[in-house]
C-alpha cells in the first residue's frame, strides 16, 4: 500500500480564479522520503494542506495511509504528523510544555514514544525550560519536529522544514530525517533548496501548480538534455553579459562562483569557438569545463520550456 | 476514550492558563480594568456633595420644624435658604438651577407628630441629576432619623416622620444607585467577550490552529477548553468587584450571594460564547477586537439600561435591547443585589438568558471550522 496517493488533485482559491495546484498526480511508497521541490508559490503548501485534510481539493482524489482525505479526515488526523512551513508552536510555552501539550492532545505521552524522538530531543533538552519563542531557528525546527513525531505518525508531512535555518542545522535536520526513514516512517518533505533534493529517495519538481517531473534525484539530473559547461573568467560581471549575447548560447546562469552554460546545438567546435569569442572580448584566465547537470540546472531547463 | 478526552481537556486548559498568566498586558486587562471601572464609577459618580443650595418652606413654624431646620442648617451638606414659595416658584427655582432640593413642612407638622405619632414633610429633588438627588435625600433622611431618635429618647414615644420624596424629571432615578450592577454587566462582558474573542483567532494567526486541526482533538473540546479559564477568571473578577462594592463603596448585597453567583455564571458563559463566536469567524486579532468592541461594548453600555433608560428609547432600539444578554443580567443583579429578591422574581430573565446562551453555544459548535477554509 502506498503511503500517499494523489490522483489529479486540483486546488483553486478565490472561487476558482487562482489555480494553485493543477491536476497533480504522484505516489509516495511506504517508508519512502519523497521531496516536493519548487520555488515559492509553486503550490507545495497547497498540496500539503490538501493531504493533511486542512483544505478540500476542488477536484481529484487523494489518500493518506490508504484513507481518503475528504471522507476519512478524522482517521487521517489520528495517524499523521504535520510540521507547517511557519513555526507553529506556542511561543510563550517552554520547550517541555509544548512537547507535553502536543503529546497529550494526540493521546500519548512523552515517555511512551521517547525512543522515537530521543536523538532529536537530546539536542534541545538542555533548553527544555526555555520558552519556544526564545529559541534559535534551528532549535525551533527540532522542537517542531519532535512535536510532529511525538505520537508516532505513520506519515510525516514537513512543509519547508529548513527554510530560514542556518546551513549547519539544515545538514543536521536532514540527518535526522534519514534516521526517521530507517524507522519506517514515510515522509513527504518540501523545500525550495535544490541541494536538499538530492537527499530524498524520489523527487517531484513542481512549478506553477504543475508537477513537471517525478524521479529519483540521480535519474532526474540524467534527464538533462545535452551538455552543460561551467565557465569562469577574470571578469565575471562581463562574462554573463557576453555569454548571453553569444549567438550559440541556449541559456546561461550564474551558479555559485561560475556560469552554467548550455549551447543551442551540440557541436565539436563549440568550445574552441566560444574561447575565441571570449578572448576577443578581452576575457582572461578562461576556464571552460564540462560538468554534470544538477537538479537546479534541470529545473531551470524544464521550467523555461514550460514558460515558453 | 473518555479518560483521554479528559486528559486532553486538562492539558488544553492548563495551556490557556499559561497564555494568560505569562502575558502581563492580558493580566492587566483582566484585573486592572474591572478594578479601575468600579472605582471610577464608585467614587467619581457618587461623589460627596457639600453646601448644596436648598430651599426650605416652613408652613408649620412650630417647635418641631424649627428644630429640624436648625439641624439641617448645622449640616455641612446644605446651604439653606428660608422662603415661603409656591410650588410653581419652587419649580422655577429648579429650572434655573438655583436649588438642588426643596423641603416643605406642612402646617401643623409638630402637632401631627406629637398627637398622631406620624407627620409628613415633602422633599422635592432634581431628578435630572440622579446622583446628587439621591445623595441629598439620603443626607436629609439621616438628619430626620437623628431628630426622631432624639425626640424618642425625650418623650419615650415612637414618632415617625415620613419624608415624601418627589423626584422631578426622572422619577425612577434610573442609573443612580444602580451603577454597580451595570458595571458588573459591563466588566464581565468586556473581560469575557474581548479576551475570548482574540483567543481562537490568535491560534489562527500564529499558525498553531493548523496543528490543532491536524490532531484528534474534537472541536467541542477546543471550545470548552477556551471557555473554562476565562470562566474561572471572570468569577474571580466578580469576587473582586463585589468585595470592592461591599467594603469600599458600602453597598449591601441584599439577596442571596449564591444566587448572584449562579446567575453571574450563566451570564459569563453567554458572554464567553459570544466572544468565541466572534473569534471563530474573525480573520485577525485586530478585527476580532474591533468587532467585539463595536458589537458588544456599545450595546452593553447603551442597551442594558444602566446608563440610559430603555423605556425612553425608540422602538427599534427597544427591540434590539431584547437580545442583549446584559440587559437581563442587569435586571437580575438589580433584583438580587439591591432589592433582595429571590429566584421566583427573576426566573423569566434567567430563562431568557439561558436560552440565549444555549443558542450561542450551538452557533459556536456549528461555526467551528474543522478545516482551514
CB contact under 8 A, A93 and B15: yes
The pLDDT of residue B155 is above 60: yes
Alpha helices by DSSP H, listed for B75-178, are 87-95, 109-116, 130-155
| pLDDT on residue A11 | 93
Q: What is the 3-state secondary structure (H, E, C) of chain A?
A: CCCEEEEEEEEEECCCCEEEEEEEEEEECCCCEEEEECCCCCCHHHHHHHHCCCCCCCEEEEEECCEECCCCHHHHHHHEEEECCCCCCCCCCEHHHHHHHHHHHCCCCCCCCHHHHHHHHHHHHHHCCCEHHHCCHHHHHHHHHHHHHCCCCCEEEEECCCCCCCHHHHHHHHHHHHHHHHCCCEEEEEECCHHHHCCCCEEEEEECCEEEEEECHHHHHHCCCCCEEEEECCCHHHHHHHHHHCCCEEEEEEECCEEEEEECCCCCCHHHHHHHHHHHCCCCCCEEEEECCCHHHHHHHHHHHHCC
- Check residues B179 and B182 and name the one with the higher pLDDT: B182
pLDDT tier at B168, thresholds 50, 70, 90:
low
Q: What is the pLDDT of residues B296-336, one digit of tens each?
A: 877 888 888 777 777 778 888 888 888 888 889 988 988 88
Q: Which residue has the cell 512523552?
A: A110
Q: Which fold has domain A225-292?
A: Alpha-Beta Plaits (3.30.70)
The pLDDT of residue B42 is above 80: no
Instruction: Identify all chain A residues contacting B19, using CB atoms and an 8 Å cutoff.
Output: 90, 92
| pLDDT on residue B2 | 61
For A150, nearest residue in chain B (alpha carbons): B215
Query: What are the extents of the domains in chain A?
Result: 4-221, 225-292
Instruction: Identify all chain B residues contacting A52, using CB atoms and an 8 Å cutoff.
Output: 210, 214
Is residue B3 less than 8 Å (CB to CB) from chain A?
no
Task: Give mean pLDDT, residues B75-96.
Answer: 77
Residues in contact with A220: Cβ distance below 8 Å, sequence separation at least 6, in sequence order: A197, A203, A205, A213, A295, A298
State the count of interchain CB pairs (< 8 A) between A and B: 78
Instruction: Identify all chain A residues contacting B215, using CB atoms and an 8 Å cutoff.
Output: 77, 102, 105-106
Q: What is the ipTM of this complex?
A: 0.83
Pairwise CA distance, residues A188 & A64, whole Å: 11
How many Å lie between the alpha carbon of A120 and the closest alpha carbon of chain B? 20
| pLDDT on residue A308 | 46
Residue B335 has which C-alpha cell? Answer: 433584583
Q: What is the CATH number of domain A4-221?
A: 3.40.50.300
How many Å lie between the alpha carbon of A80 and the closest alpha carbon of chain B? 8
| pLDDT on residue B173 | 45
| pLDDT on residue B220 | 82
Minimal CA–CA distance to A244: which of A228, A226, A259, A265?
A259
| pLDDT on residue B289 | 84
Is residue B153 less than 8 Å (CB to CB) from chain A?
no
| pLDDT on residue B158 | 60
Helix axes B2-21, A95-105, angle to 10 degrees: 150
How many Å lie between the alpha carbon of A179 and the closest alpha carbon of chain B? 23
pLDDT tier at B170, thresholds 50, 70, 90:
very low
Pairwise CA distance, residues B264 & A17, whole Å: 49
From first CA to last CA, the distance across chain B in angstroms is 29
| pLDDT on residue B166 | 61
For B14, nearest residue in chain A (alpha carbons): A101
Helix and strand totals (H; E) in chain B: 18, 5
Instruction: Identify all chain A residues contacting B212, using CB atoms and an 8 Å cutoff.
Output: 105
Residue B275 has which C-alpha cell? Answer: 466572544
3-state SS assignment for residue B226: helix
For B177, which DSSP code?
T
Q: What is the pLDDT of residues B113-146, one digit of tens each?
A: 778 777 888 888 877 777 677 778 888 888 888 8
The pLDDT of residue B352 is above 70: yes
Q: Which residue has the cell 418627589?
A: B166
* B12 C-beta neighbours (distance < 10 Å), count: 22
The answer to whether the CB of B279 falls within 8 A of the CB of B199 is yes
Minimal CA–CA distance to B154: which of B226, B225, B63, B37?
B63
| pLDDT on residue B171 | 47
How many Å lie between the alpha carbon of A38 and the closest alpha carbon of chain B? 22
| pLDDT on residue B45 | 57
Residues in chain A predicted with pLDDT less than 50, given as ranges, are 308
pLDDT tier at B163, thresholds 50, 70, 90:
low
| pLDDT on residue A80 | 93
A60 conformational bin, left if phi > 0, alpha if psi -120 to 50, beta if neither: left
| pLDDT on residue B340 | 82
| pLDDT on residue A64 | 94
A194-197 CB contacts, 8 Å cutoff, 24+ apart: A194/A37, A194/A294, A194/A295, A194/A296, A194/A299, A195/A294, A195/A295, A196/A35, A196/A162, A196/A170, A197/A35, A197/A37, A197/A295
| pLDDT on residue B174 | 42
Instruction: Identify all chain A residues contacting B12, using CB atoms and an 8 Å cutoff.
Output: 101, 105
How many Å lie between the alpha carbon of A64 and the closest alpha carbon of chain B? 13
A55 to A30, A38, A75, B293: CA distances (angstroms): 23, 20, 15, 31
The answer to whether the CB of A6 falls within 8 A of the CB of A25 is yes
Domains and their CATH numbers in chain B = 2-44+178-367 (no CATH), 52-168 (3.40.1710.10)
| pLDDT on residue A305 | 62
| pLDDT on residue A12 | 92
- Residue A307 buriedness (CB in 10 A; 0-12 / 13-18 / 19+): exposed
The pLDDT of residue B176 is above 50: no
How many Å lie between the alpha carbon of B209 and the closest alpha carbon of chain A? 8
How many Å lie between the alpha carbon of A66 and the closest alpha carbon of chain B? 17
Nearest to B210 among A54, A97, A106 (CB): A54
**What is the distance, to the nearest Å, from the Cα of residue B164 to the centroid of all Cα atoms in its chain?**
26
Is residue B371 less than 8 Å (CB to CB) from chain A?
yes
| pLDDT on residue A62 | 94
Minimal CA–CA distance to B253: which of B339, B146, B156?
B339
A140 to A132, A164, A184, B16, B68: CA distances (angstroms): 7, 11, 24, 21, 80
* A251 C-beta neighbours (distance < 10 Å), count: 16
Beta bridge partners of A262: A251
Instruction: Identify all chain A residues contacting B211, using CB atoms and an 8 Å cutoff.
Output: 82, 84, 88-89, 102, 147
A186-191/B101-105 β-pairing: unpaired
The pLDDT of residue B167 is above 60: no
Q: Which residue of B214, B217, B222, B224 is the best one to mutate when testing the A interface, meaning the one whose CB has the most A CBs within 10 A?
A: B214
CB contact under 8 A, A105 and B11: yes
Nearest to A90 among B208, B210, B371 (CB): B208
Pairwise CA distance, residues B119 & B64, whole Å: 10
Instruction: Identify all chain B residues contacting A67, using CB atoms and an 8 Å cutoff.
Output: none
* ∠ CA A159-A165-A170, rounded to 5°: 80
Minimal CA–CA distance to A37: which of A254, A218, A212, A255?
A212
The pLDDT of residue B22 is above 50: yes
Task: Give mean pLDDT, residues B11-30.
Answer: 87
What part of B 213-252 touches A (C-beta under 8 Å)? 213-217
Beta bridge partners of B365: none
- Check residues B149 and A161 and name the one with the higher pLDDT: A161
| pLDDT on residue B48 | 54
From first CA to last CA, the distance across chain A in angstroms is 38
Residues in contact with A62: Cβ distance below 8 Å, sequence separation at least 6, in sequence order: A4, A5, A6, A7, A9, A50, A51, A68, A69
Nearest to B216 among A49, A78, A100 (CB): A78
Task: Give mean pLDDT, residues B237-248.
Answer: 86
Percent of chain B past pLDDT 70, that is, above it, reads 89
CB contact under 8 A, A77 and B215: yes
For B13, nearest residue in chain A (alpha carbons): A101
Amino acid at each position: 500500500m502506498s503511503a500517499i496517493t494523489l490522483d489529479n488533485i486540483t486546488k483553486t482559491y478565490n472561487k476558482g480564479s487562482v489555480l494553485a495546484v493543477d491536476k497533480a498526480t504522484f505516489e509516495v511508497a511506504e517508508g519512502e522520503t519523497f521531496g516536493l521541490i519548487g520555488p515559492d508559490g509553486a503550490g507545495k503548501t497547497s498540496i500539503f494542506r490538501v493531504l493533511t485534510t486542512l483544505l478540500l481539493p476542488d477536484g481529484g482524489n487523494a489518500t493518506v495511509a490508504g484513507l481518503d482525505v475528504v471522507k476519512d479526515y478524522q482517521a487521517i488526523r489520528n495517524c499523521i504528523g504535520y510540521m507547517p512551513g511557519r513555526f507553529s508552536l506556542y511561543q510563550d510555552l517552554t520547550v517541555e510544555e509544548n512537547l507535553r501539550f502536543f503529546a497529550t492532545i494526540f493521546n500519548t505521552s512523552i515517555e511512551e514514544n521517547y525512543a522515537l524522538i530521543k536523538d532529536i530531543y537530546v539536542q534541545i533538552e538542555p533548553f527544555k525550560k526555555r520558552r519556544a519563542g526564545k529559541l534559535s531557528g534551528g532549535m525551533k525546527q527540532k522542537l517542531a519536529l519532535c512535536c510532529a513525531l511525538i505520537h508516532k505518525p505513520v506519515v510525516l508531512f514537513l512543509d519547508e522544514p529548513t527554510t530560514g535555518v542556518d546551513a549547519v542545522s539544515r545538514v543536521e535536520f536532514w540527518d535526522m530525517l534519514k534516521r526517521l526513514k530507517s524507522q519506517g516512517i514515510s515522509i513527504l518533505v518540501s523545500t525550495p533548496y535544490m541541494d536538499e533534493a538530492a537527499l530524498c529517495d524520489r523527487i517531484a519538481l513542481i512549478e506553477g501548480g504543475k508537477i513537471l517531473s517525478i524521479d529519483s534525484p540521480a535519474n532526474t539530473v540524467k534527464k538533462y538534455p545535452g551538455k552543460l559547461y561551467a565557465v569562469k573568467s577574470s571578469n565575471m560581471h562581463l562574462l554573463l553579459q557576453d555569454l548571453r549575447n553569444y549567438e550559440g548560447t541556449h541559456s546561461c546562469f550564474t551558479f555559485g562562483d561560475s556560469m552554467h552554460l548550455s549551447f543551442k546545438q551540440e557541436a565539436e567546435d563549440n568550445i574552441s569557438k566560444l574561447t575565441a569569442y571570449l578572448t576577443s572580448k578581452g576575457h582572461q584566465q578562461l576556464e571552460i569545463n564540462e560538468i554534470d547537470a544538477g537538479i537546479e540546472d534541470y529545473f531551470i531547463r524544464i521550467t523555461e520550456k514550460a514558460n515558453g | 476514550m473518555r479518560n483521554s478526552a479528559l486528559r486532553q481537556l486538562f492539558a488544553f486548559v492548563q495551556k490557556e492558563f499559561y497564555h494568560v498568566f505569562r502575558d502581563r498586558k492580558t493580566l492587566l486587562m483582566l484585573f486592572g480594568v474591572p478594578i479601575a471601572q468600579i472605582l471610577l464609577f464608585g467614587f467619581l459618580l457618587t461623589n460627596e456633595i457639600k453646601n448644596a443650595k436648598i430651599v426650605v418652606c416652613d408652613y408649620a413654624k412650630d417647635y418641631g420644624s424649627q428644630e429640624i431646620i436648625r439641624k439641617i442648617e448645622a449640616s455641612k451638606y446644605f446651604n439653606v435658604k428660608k422662603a415661603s414659595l409656591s410650588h410653581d416658584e419652587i419649580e422655577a427655582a429648579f429650572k434655573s438651577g438655583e436649588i438642588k432640593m426643596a423641603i416643605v413642612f406642612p402646617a401643623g407638622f409638630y402637632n401631627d407628630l406629637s398627637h398622631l405619632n406620624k407627620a409628613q414633610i415633602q422633599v422635592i429633588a432634581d431628578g435630572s441629576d440622579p446622583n446628587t438627588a439621591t445623595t441629598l435625600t439620603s443626607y436629609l433622611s439621616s438628619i430626620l432619623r437623628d431628630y426622631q431618635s432624639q425626640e424618642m429618647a425625650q418623650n419615650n414615644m415612637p414618632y415617625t416622620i415620613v419624608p415624601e420624596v418627589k423626584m422631578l424629571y426622572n422619577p425612577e432615578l434610573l442609573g443612580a444607585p444602580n451603577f454597580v450592577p451595570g458595571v458588573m454587566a459591563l466588566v464581565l462582558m468586556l473581560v469575557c467577550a474581548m479576551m475570548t474573542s482574540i483567543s481562537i483567532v490568535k491560534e489562527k494567526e500564529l499558525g498553531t490552529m493548523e496543528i490543532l486541526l491536524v490532531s484528534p482533538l474534537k472541536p467541542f473540546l477546543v471550545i470548552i477548553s477556551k471557555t473554562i479559564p476565562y470562566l474561572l477568571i471572570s468569577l474571580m473578577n466578580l469576587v473582586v468587584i463585589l468585595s470592592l462594592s461591599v467594603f469600599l463603596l458600602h453597598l449591601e448585597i441584599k439577596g442571596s450571594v449564591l444566587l448572584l453567583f449562579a446567575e453571574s455564571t450563566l451570564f459569563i458563559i453567554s458572554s464567553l460564547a459570544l466572544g468565541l463566536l466572534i473569534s471563530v469567524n474573525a480573520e485577525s486579532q485586530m478585527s476580532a477586537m474591533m468587532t467585539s468592541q463595536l458589537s458588544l461594548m456599545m450595546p452593553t453600555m447603551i442597551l442594558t439600561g444602566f446608563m440610559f433608560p430603555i423605556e425612553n428609547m425608540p422602538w427599534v432600539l427597544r427591540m434590539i435591547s431584547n437580545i442583549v444578554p446584559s440587559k437581563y443580567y442587569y435586571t437580575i443583579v438589580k433584583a438580587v443585589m439591591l432589592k433582595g429578591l429571590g429566584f421566583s422574581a427573576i426566573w423569566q430573565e434567567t430563562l431568557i438568558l439561558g436560552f440565549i446562551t444555549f443558542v450561542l453555544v450551538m452557533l459556536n459548535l456549528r461555526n467551528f471550522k474543522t478545516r482551514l477554509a
